[in-house]
């Protein structure tokens, strides 16, 4: 039996609440409210329409809006696009300057980049080291031709909460429209657009236990005239978002909003779990919390670990489902642009875990996460002579992953085994005959060192240390295992391309193996002349 990983990725998406699923299923099939809500000629259409209006009321109530101010979209990405492109186009005659920040979601940054290609100017504000945008920085960036400010309410990587009220006051004084991406705040704390001075607000169902594929853009009644549609069709959603309304999605979104609005005690519960998680992780030492300590939502914890390589860290954490840096950009393997904007080194940004908690998270999950992260961080630090080589019991390194090969599926069986066991990891004491050769740079997340004991021209013992990806560590372990008993004379362990083939390392990783080869050559070259018989 394969254990399901502990889910700690609620900031990426949430499971649909059973009550939401129930309501949605009542709107799909022939015996339910499946008809087109625009079909006012028959009773079935009118019933679907009534369902939709109720859903609109429920969604509006979550943020204190009027029902008429809710425009249904496919999610926060589309809401952000509609707000940014729609305001820019409707107001091009007034000005063509937009202010946003470097820590926005891609769904804000990419439409802004697109507008730059169309001749608009965009200012990207930089946060302070705590991930906050100072209202003064916004004030300084506003120009005479600024028409829109778009700043998120809660950052999806760090959980830091922005001072939207202060931004709104600045914009209102100057007659500039304010949009906020509230995908990470809606449903998590009380939001009231009657008190919050924003013109447009994006949110999405799947971050609050509703279905994927449905979201909303709040459009303040007085600001409607300053927004143009970006798609054209049947005139639905006040002409701003045409297309047949997806009754089941809207109904599910409505129920999810009501559940979020009426639930009590959840922020306190999550804050307690988050604090327990942080206190457990910080005990490892060399651990950094990303983002302001006080101004944050309770469900997101972003932590950077010194002395470990990020890909190796997550690869070993098969019993946890979590994100590294940004879930959206982690496929690229680049360090998170958000953490870089906070001033984190690319090494720390790259060795970051984002743990996000939710309704299903229990104390036992937190304890399991602390144990698993502690085990992997210690295991990886033990083979890298950084400032934080935590001492651990040898057998605590070699447990846990056997039962759950899900994440390891991306590694070949050979790499998987070597990475899990790391045979040959360690050091050799400084005695005559011991040589070391190293290559790479820990700041570039790749550093390796061989230790060889050579006597009478024979390699008697070999060990390695390393900071690198699972493939690099596996190749180091494998080569280390090949060395003992071999004569230096005529010694050949082949080429990186052959190693990659033997172990099933993808060809893109070959560059890393060249560093391994350099270290191997360096150690062999350093062998004491007396013992070399070329
Ligand atoms: C998840 C998220 C989005 C994207 O929402 P979708 O509904 O998936 O399009 C946008 N912004 C933030 C801050 C998010 O967390």
**In the chain, where are the structural domains located?**
6-11+268-406, 33-262, 415-525
Residue 510 · residue 428 · CB < 8 Å: no
CA of 296 to the centre of ligand 1 (A): 18
Q: Whose CA is nearest to atom 5 of ligand 1?
A: 76
CA of 413 to the centre of ligand 1 (A): 35
Ligand 1 pocket, residue 159 CB under 6 Å: no
User: Nearest-5° angle of CA 361, CA 377, CA 404?
Assistant: 60
The region that residue 209 occupies, defined by phi over 0 for left and psi between -120 and 50 for alpha, beta otherwise, is left
Lowest mean pLDDT among 309-318, 391-400, 523-532: 391-400
Ligand 1 pocket, residue 79 CB under 6 Å: no
Ligand 1 pocket, residue 148 CB under 6 Å: no
Ligand 1 pocket, residue 107 CB under 6 Å: yes
Compute the distance between CA of residue 120 and CA of residue 115 in angstroms, rounded to an integer: 5
CA of 20 to the centre of ligand 1 (A): 20
Write the DSSP symbol of residue 2. P
Shared fold status for 33-262 and 415-525: no
The pLDDT tens digits of the residues spanning 232-263 come to 998 899 999 999 999 999 999 999 999 999 99
The pLDDT tens digits of the residues spanning 380-404 come to 999 987 645 444 433 333 333 333 3
Residue 181 · residue 75 · CB < 8 Å: no
Which CATH topology does 415-525 take? Sufe protein. Chain: A (3.90.1010)
Helix (H) or strand (E) holding 458: strand 458-467
And the tokens for 149?
């400010």
Residue from 119, 267, 95, 135 nearest 190 by CA: 267
Ligand 1 pocket, residue 76 CB under 6 Å: yes
How far, CA to CA in Å, does 490 sit from each of 47, 424, 516, 533? 84, 23, 19, 9
Ligand 1 pocket, residue 184 CB under 6 Å: yes
Query: 481: helix, coil or strand?
Result: helix
Q: What's the pLDDT at 394?
A: 37
Of all residues in the chain, the percent with pLDDT exceeding 70 is 92
Confidence of residue 443 (pLDDT cuts 50, 70, 90): confident
Q: Whose CA is nearest to atom 12 of ligand 1?
A: 183
Q: What is the pTM of this model?
A: 0.89
Ligand 1 pocket, residue 183 CB under 6 Å: yes
CA of 76 to the centre of ligand 1 (A): 5
Ligand 1 pocket, residue 77 CB under 6 Å: yes
Report, as an integer, the average pLDDT of 95-101: 98
Residue 469 appears among annotated catalytic residues: no
Catalytic residue among 171, 257, 328, 397: 328
CA of 298 to the centre of ligand 1 (A): 18
Q: What's the pLDDT at 524?
A: 87
CA of 77 to the centre of ligand 1 (A): 6
Compute the distance between CA of residue 14 and CA of residue 210 in angstroms, rounded to an integer: 8
Check pLDDT > 50 for residue 286: yes
Check pLDDT > 60 for residue 408: no
Query: Which CATH number describes the domain made up of 33-262?
Result: 3.40.640.10
Q: What's the pLDDT at 527?
A: 62
By most ligand atoms within 8 Å of CB, the mutation choice from 183, 203, 297 for ligand 1 is: 183
By most ligand atoms within 8 Å of CB, the mutation choice from 10, 13, 104, 105 for ligand 1 is: 105
Mean pLDDT of the chain: 91
Check pLDDT > 80 for residue 479: yes
Confidence of residue 345 (pLDDT cuts 50, 70, 90): confident
Ligand 1 pocket, residue 210 CB under 6 Å: no
46: CB partners within 8 A, 6+ apart: 39, 40
Which CATH topology does 6-11+268-406 take? 3.90.1150
CA of 249 to the centre of ligand 1 (A): 17
Lowest mean pLDDT among 228-242, 339-353, 447-461: 339-353
Report, as an integer, the average pLDDT of 121-147: 97
């Amino acid at each position: 039996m394969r254990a399901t990983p502990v889910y700690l990725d609620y900031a990426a998406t949430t499971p649909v609440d059973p009550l939401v699923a129930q309501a949605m299923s009542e709107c799909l099939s022939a015996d339910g409210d499946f008809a087109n809500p625009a079909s006012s000629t028959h009773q079935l259409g009118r019933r679907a329409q009534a369902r939709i209006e109720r859903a609109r009321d429920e969604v509006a109530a979550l943020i204190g809006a009027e029902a008429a101010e809710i425009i249904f979209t496919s999610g926060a990405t589309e809401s952000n696009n509609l707000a940014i492109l729609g305001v820019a186009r409707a107001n091009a005659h007034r000005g063509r300057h937009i202010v946003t920040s470097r820590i926005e979601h891609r769904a804000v940054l990419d439409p802004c980049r697109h507008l730059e290609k169309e001749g608009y100017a965009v200012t990207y504000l930089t946060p302070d080291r705590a991930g906050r945008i100072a209202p003064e920085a916004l004030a300084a960036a506003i120009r005479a031709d600024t028409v829109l400010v778009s700043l998120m309410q809660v950052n999806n990587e760090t959980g830091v909460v922005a001072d939207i009220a202060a931004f709104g006051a600045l914009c209102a004084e100057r007659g500039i429209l304010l949009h906020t991406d509230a995908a990470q705040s809606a449903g998590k704390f009380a939001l009231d657009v009657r008190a919050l001075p924003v013109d447009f607000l994006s949110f999405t169902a799947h971050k609050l236990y509703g279905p994927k594929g449905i979201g909303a853009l709040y459009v303040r009644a007085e600001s409607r005239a300053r927004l143009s549609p970006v798609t054209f069709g049947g005139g639905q959603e006040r002409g701003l978002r045409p297309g047949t309304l997806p009754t089941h999605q809207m109904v599910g979104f409505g129920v999810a909003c009501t559940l979020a609005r009426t639930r009590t005690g959840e922020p306190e519960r999550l804050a307690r779990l988050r604090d327990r998680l942080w206190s457990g992780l910080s005990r490892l030492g060399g651990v950094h919390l990303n983002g302001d300590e006080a101004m944050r939502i309770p469900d997101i914890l972003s932590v950077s670990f010194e002395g470990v390589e990020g890909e190796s860290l997550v690869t070993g954490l098969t019993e946890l489902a979590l994100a590294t840096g940004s879930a959206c950009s982690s496929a690229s393997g680049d360090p998170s642009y958000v953490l870089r904007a906070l001033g984190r080194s690319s090494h720390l940004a790259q060795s970051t875990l984002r743990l996000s908690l939710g309704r299903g998270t229990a104390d036992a999950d937190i304890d399991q996460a602390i144990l698993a992260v502690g085990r992997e961080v210690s295991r990886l630090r033990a083979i890298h002579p950084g400032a934080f080589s935590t001492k651990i019991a040898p057998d605590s390194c070699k447990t846990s992953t056997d039962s759950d090969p899900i994440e390891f599926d991306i590694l070949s069986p050979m790499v998987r085994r070597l990475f899990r066991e790391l045979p040959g990891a360690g050091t050799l004491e400084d005695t005559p005959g011991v040589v070391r050769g190293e290559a790479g740079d820990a700041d570039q997340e790749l550093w390796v060192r061989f230790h060889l004991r050579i006597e009478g021209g024979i390699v008697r013992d070999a060990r390695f240390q390393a900071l690198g990806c699972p493939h690099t560590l596996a190749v180091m372990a494998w080569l280390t295992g090949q060395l003992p008993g071999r004569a230096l004379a005529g010694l050949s362990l082949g080429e990186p391309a052959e190693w990659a083939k033997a172990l099933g390392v993808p060809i893109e990783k070959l560059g890393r193996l060249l560093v391994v080869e350099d270290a191997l050559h360096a150690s062999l070259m350093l062998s004491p002349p007396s013992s070399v018989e070329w």
